[in-house]
Structure 1
Amino acid sequence: MRRSLATRLFRNLFAVSLVTALLSIGAIEVFYEDMEDTILSLELTEEQAYFRKHIQGNSVQQWDTARLKAIFLPAGAPEDALPDYLKGKPAPYSGELELTEATYLVLVEPVDNPPGHLYLSQDISIMEGQELLSQLTVLGVLLGMALIGFVLSRLSARRLVHPLRKLTQQIQATEPAKTMRRLETEYQDTEFADIAGAFNRFLDALEAFVDREKSFVKLASHELRTPLAVMSGALEIIEKRNALSEADQRTLARIRRAANDMQADVNVLLKLARGHVDSDEPEPVSLARITRDTMADLENSQSDQPDRLRFDAAGDQTLMTDPPLLRMLIRNLLQNALKHTRGPVDIELLADGLRITDYGRGLPRDVSERLENNISRRERRMQESNFGLLLVQLICERQDWQLDIVGSGPGGTTMDVHFGADQLTPARK
């Protein structure tokens, strides 16, 4: 699943700010605890030195202040004089005791003169309460820093991604045309300006390439049409002489038909090469008639094709289209089918199109895969190496028809062409 770059930047920035805050608060807490322990230890050590000097005689002695209790217990004396929380403590001993009513910091040290143990306990409940308050304060600071990090991360991510979104929108808004709009290059960040500049240079090269292709098409149009016009004129002169035998006249008619078909094919190829829909009005074309005519042309032009084309025309449809385009489509499909089998080729009219079936070895695997991929993805990629199938694909794209490979394998190949519903009239009875 794709994620937004802004979301990723926000999460990364917020994570960095949150980790930084946690590390900072943790370091402060550790420093505070260490400082507290050091202060209390030093304070008790000083108090211990003070009470050592005030021990008099070999008897139990006790000193009390508001938060400090000091007890000297001579060697061998019972612990009855000690509070319960001090009984059984070894010497030396230092630690913190958390009781139900209070928290004490305890220090027990042996004394040599007179022999015994000096017990010190300091009530640090007030300090513990202050520590809890400080911890709550630290937690509040952490939450505040997290909130500030959240807001700053969100704003920073939006600010960083804004020029990228602007650049993306401009690229997406660029539509194929004769002259395409260039991207703005006034960006504060050098990287975005470089991307926009590179895209503009790509558009410059693309427009130059298209202009060269259009110039080539214009020149090809002239170079192809001129010899065809000469051939047609020569045929007219021969026909006007009326000096040919009946067999020669039939041959001349075939040449005339081939020249006319070639002229129509040149026009079709030029239309496809230009890649735009011309302003010619479509004409009503009988699918059955144009199929039969195309079959007859193929059988007359190729002596090895008699009776191999079988046409099942139970009904007929009238298609509004460009006749040369449709004729070229049918002829190339039939030629491709005849090329892949030595047996018959069946042509069948469907309710919305045309089906052509051969019984050969099937299309080559690479050709079949390329056609199926292009058809399923609706891609306009002219990568087909078979010129006839390439023309079929281009014509279907041009006319918005659907080309389907129903099946292709050792048993043969079946291809369907489905025409647009708005281009067909109800089948004739």
Structure 2
Amino acid sequence: MPQGIPKKVRYAFMVQVALGSLVIVLGVTFAFSSALRVLIDARLRAQADEYWSIIERNPAGPLLPETELVHGYFLRKGAAAALPLTLRKLTAGRHYLAGEGRDVLVEARDPGVLVLSMDFSHARRVLWMMGALLMLGGIAAIHLVSWLTYRTTRRLVAPVSWLAEEVSRWEPDAADPGSLIRERIPGEVGREVDQLSSALTTLSSRVQAFVQRERDFTRDASHELRTPLTVIRVASDMLLADDAIPQRSHRSLQRIHRATRDMEAVIDAFLILAREDDIAVQGEDFDVHDVVMEEIEKVQPLLQGKPVELRVTGHSRPRLDAPPRVLGVMLGNLLSNACIFTEEGSIEVEVLDDRVHVHDTGIGMSPEVLQRVYDPFYRADPFRSGKGMGLSIVRRLGERFGWPVSLESQPGRGTTATIRYG
């Protein structure tokens, strides 16, 4: 789950404090290391200059002063080295003896070689103690500043977080815009928060009105559209049963009867799709094979006069617990398309345990057409019958009931449509 704004703000300040503390530690460490090196170099150089001045005043045999912290050795050219073992192998320049904690300067001039050893342990401790205090002070300061800034930011962000949490509990039909009044919003409520609260209140009222209109339409359409269609279907059934009706009129009545049943199926599909996802659709246990046979009977007239064989294969008899009209609408659209776009050959409906295939040997579809075939009102061939809504309805119904639909097609070789329900 993505982090909320307060958590992100807190994380940002924690990262800021961590990075700031790291910068302070590294900066103070580098600064004091450089300063300590410069000071020690200066002290060694000053002491060396003092010793060289003593040597110049008494070149015969200078006696260099020594203390507990400073040891000086002068080696005249050609004389034997009278140095401690730790100093004998040192070359000219600056050295640090970690084992003894002493800094050594080896310098050669015309009279000979000066070896100067000094102990700066106390100076190092004092400087690093000051550096540590400076680090702690800087880290404490950045923590304090970040904490105060975080508290201020949290007060500014609190109203937005509260609004988001409040709105997340709303139901489309039970939102309470009155809960967003200014007096209930925590934190510092600024002009932007007032505008957001007002916009959410207005949006809530519009959503509630929209939901109510959708429910009213669904209820009214369910009654107002079914009633005239039922009258037309019953009247056409009565006329079809009258033997006195001429054959030509009989064919027209069959078309009216078939169109009425198709319209009822489409209305059922639209009403199902118009319902909210969390509202269960009343279903029943039915045999998929029976629905297939019923839809095949409906599309038989579309193949009159065509050398096309329509057959059902597969020995499975799967059963589903869902509205059978939904599967009927999906299969009916797929079969209608197969009958319309197949001029010769065969149409095969294969019923399996977890899916049903509709194979045809029709004109097929190119990859470009397959990419747009589910778009509402899109028709690859505008001169053939249909309004281009079929496959769009099929896909939406499949998504609603968890029955994904897939198409495989090649131009000139036919199309295979699959509905997976298992």
TM, length-normalised to structure 2: 0.64
Aligned residue number for residue 353 of structure 2 = 351
Summarize deviations over 1:328-386 as a string: whole Å, max 9, x none: 12210101223343232111221234221012343442454578xx9xxxxxxx87844
* Matching residue within 120, 124, 147 for 2:118: 124
1:291 match: secondary structure: helix
| Root mean square deviation of aligned Cα | 5.7
The DSSP-based 3-state class of the residue aligned with 1:310 is strand
Distance verdict in 2 for CA 1:339–1:7, change over 3 Å: farther
Change (3 A) 1:195 1:352: farther
Between stretches 209-218 and 325-334, larger displacement belongs to 209-218
Q: Distance in 1 between matches of 2:135 and 2:245?
A: 106
Q: Map 1:186-265 onto structure 2 (within 5 A).
A: 186=186, 200=200, 204=204, 209-211=210-212, 213-214=214-215, 217=218, 224-225=225-226, 227-228=228-229, 231=232, 244-245=244-245, 247=247, 248=249, 251-252=252-253, 254-265=255-266
Q: 1:38 is aligned with what amino acid?
A: A
Residue 21 of structure 1 contacts residue 142 of structure 1 at CA under 8 Å; is this kept in 2? Answer: no
Aligned residue number for residue 20 of structure 1: 24
Aligned to 1:329: 330
Contact 2:283 2:323 survives alignment (8 Å): yes
Mapped partners of 2:421, 2:40: distance in 1: 88
State how 1:11-410 maps to structure 2 within 5 Å: 11=15, 13-39=17-43, 41-42=45-46, 60-62=61-63, 64-66=65-67, 103=103, 123-125=117-119, 127=120, 129-131=121-123, 133=125, 137=129, 170=165, 177-179=172-174, 186=186, 200=200, 204=204, 209-211=210-212, 213-214=214-215, 217=218, 224-225=225-226, 227-228=228-229, 231=232, 244-245=244-245, 247=247, 248=249, 251-252=252-253, 254-276=255-277, 281-300=282-301, 303-304=304-305, 307-312=308-313, 314=315, 316-343=317-344, 344-366=346-368, 368-369=370-371, 385=378, 386-405=388-407, 407-410=408-411
Q: Which has the larger radius of gyration?
A: 1
- The 8 Å contact of residues 299 and 305 in structure 1, kept in 2 or not, is answered as no
2: CA distance, partners of 1:198 / 1:82: 92
Which of 130-139 and 141-150 deviates more? Answer: 141-150
Structure 1 position 388, deviation (Å): 0.8
Q: How many pairs were matched up?
A: 386
- TM-score normalised by L of structure 1: 0.63
Between the aligned partners of 2:77 and 2:310, the Cα distance in structure 1 is 125
Q: Secondary structure at the match of 1:22?
A: helix
3-state SS of the aligned residue for 2:415?
strand
Q: 1:342 to 1:47 in 2, by over 3 A?
A: same
Whole-Å separation in 2 of the counterparts to 1:202 and 1:383: 32
Q: Is the partner of 1:408 in helix, strand or coil?
A: strand
Give 5+ residue unaligned stretches, structure 1.
86-93, 111-116, 375-381, 421-429
Structure 2: tracts of 5 or more residues without a match: 85-91, 379-387
- Cα deviations by residue, 1:48-80 (Å, 9 ceiling, x for unpaired): 77x699x58x8545363536689999xxx9775
